[in-house]
């Protein structure tokens, strides 16, 4: 799946929701470009790992982080062996991981209950960022005021202190001082009576100041660092006239090319990809040529060969493209490996 002489790997994590009574699958799988076979990774990981986030070091691809229900784990050999990362996170599930684009020694971990931890030394020491933002106007139930989990964190090349977080049932938050203070940027993302249920946020590398956010109600764009938002027009996939968007990624080395995955709902019998070639200003629904049998949750790129990209449905279908999404081949996970929540490539 790559034209380079080096091996590349795709990682797929299984998980589920953390609410009581919800189905949770487990497992972390790896596929090599050499044989196209999926291998279950276990050595050093917790029992039945629920892996909701995977991140590969941008300069050292053998270093991989996996976020589990027992905190983050780290591998230095493409996932053959794992060790628990020493974060004082009091046992919350991990939902997001980010290497800072300016300095990969700076790492962020996003958790349940809208907590974020930061390391400035490559993951050796960690501190909790004071995320004090709460959303009394965006609630899970009457009277609730706690935001839920941080599904994605985004940082920028042009301003090292600027950070964004996408909170599922909560909204978009921003810090301008490396995480010391945060503010709510959710106003303008209400399109019906639903909570502002955000799944991703992307600070544009192509057009500084542009921010894209995605969630249950679709996609939104800001041209002023998140102060104001406009709804992005993409094809509607459900009866509310909306599209459930789950993942957003820039193509490595070409930040004009942005991809979004989704489907009609959280649990659907179909899935779609959306693509912009101008930094998020215009979008099209991609004619993939494959049949997604559930919402597409995962998106990943090979940093060393960005034409190689992957997407995956929540039901365990994994598709690979060697030509920037023009054509695709299928590499399904083993039978029974469903509830895919995370996808990454090294």
Does pLDDT of 196 surpass 70? yes
First CA to last CA across the chain, in angstroms? 12
Spell out the domain ranges in the chain: 9-345
Q: How far is CA 105 from CA 196, 311, 318, in A?
A: 32, 27, 30
User: Taking the CB of residue 265, how many other CB atoms lie within 10 A of it?
Assistant: 18
Q: What is the average pLDDT score of the chain?
A: 91
The pLDDT of residue 33 is 83
Does pLDDT of 140 surpass 70? no
pLDDT confidence of 135, banded at 50, 70, 90? low
Q: What average pLDDT does this structure show over 13-31? A: 91
User: Taking the CB of residue 82, how many other CB atoms lie within 10 A of it?
Assistant: 23
Using alpha carbons, select from 227, 203, 206 the residue that is nearest to residue 154. Answer: 203
The pLDDT of residue 35 is 85
Q: What average pLDDT does this structure show over 339-343? A: 97
Q: Name the 3-class secondary structure at 191.
A: coil
Q: Which of 15-29, 64-78, 101-115, 320-334 has the lowest mean pLDDT?
A: 15-29
Beta bridge partners of 170: none
Q: Name the 3-class secondary structure at 112.
A: helix
The pLDDT of residue 138 is 42
Q: What kind of architecture, by CATH, is found in domain 9-345?
A: 7 Propeller (2.130)
Does pLDDT of 188 surpass 80? no
The pLDDT of residue 192 is 60
Distance, CA of 233 to CA of 237 (rounded, Å): 12
Using alpha carbons, select from 65, 175, 60, 187 the residue that is nearest to residue 116. Answer: 175
Quote the tokens at residue 325: 């999404």
Does pLDDT of 202 surpass 50? yes
Does pLDDT of 114 surpass 70? yes
pLDDT confidence of 18, banded at 50, 70, 90? confident
Q: Which of 224-238, 244-258, 291-305 has the lowest mean pLDDT?
A: 224-238
Beta bridge partners of 74: 65, 83
pLDDT confidence of 102, banded at 50, 70, 90? very high
- 219 close to 262: Cβ distance less than 8 angstroms: no
């Amino acid at each position: 799946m790559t034209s380079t002489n080096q091996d590349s790997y795709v990682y797929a994590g299984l998980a589920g929701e953390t609410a009581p009574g919800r189905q949770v699958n487990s497992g972390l799988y790896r596929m090599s470009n050499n044989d196209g076979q999926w291998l279950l990774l276990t050595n050093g990981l917790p029992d039945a790992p629920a892996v909701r986030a995977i991140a590969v070091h941008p300069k050292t691809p053998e270093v991989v982080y996996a976020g589990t229900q027992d905190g983050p784990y780290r591998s230095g050999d493409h996932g053959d062996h794992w060790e628990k990362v020493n974060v004082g996170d009091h046992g919350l599930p991990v939902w997001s991981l980010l290497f800072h684009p300016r300095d990969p020694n700076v790492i962020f971990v996003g958790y349940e209950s809208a907590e974020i931890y930061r390391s400035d030394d490559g993951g050796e020491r960690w501190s909790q960022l004071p995320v004090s933002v709460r959303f009394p106007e965006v609630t899970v139930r009457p009277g609730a005021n706690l935001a839920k989990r941080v599904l994605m964190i985004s940082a920028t090349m042009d301003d090292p202190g600027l950070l964004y977080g996408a909170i599922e049932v909560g909204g978009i938050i921003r810090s301008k001082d490396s995480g010391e203070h945060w503010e709510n940027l959710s106003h303008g993302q209400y399109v019906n009576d639903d909570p502002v249920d955000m799944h991703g946020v992307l600070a544009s590398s192509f057009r500084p100041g542009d921010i894209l956010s995605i969630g249950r109600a679709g996609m939104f764009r800001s041209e002023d660092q998140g102060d104001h938002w406009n709804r992005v027009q993409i094809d509607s996939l459900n009866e509310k006239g909306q599209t459930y968007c789950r993942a957003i990624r820039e193509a490595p080395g070409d930040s004009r090319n942005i991809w979004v995955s989704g489907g009609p709902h959280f649990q659907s019998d179909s899935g779609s990809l959306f693509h912009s070639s101008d930094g998020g200003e215009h979008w099209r629904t991609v004619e993939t040529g494959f049949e997604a049998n559930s919402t597409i949750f995962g998106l990943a790129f090979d940093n060393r060969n960005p034409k190689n990209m992957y997407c995956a449905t929540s039901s365990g279908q994994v598709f690979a493209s060697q030509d920037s999404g023009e054509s695709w081949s299928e590499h399904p996970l083993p039978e029974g490996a469903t509830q895919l929540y995370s996808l990454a490539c090294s």
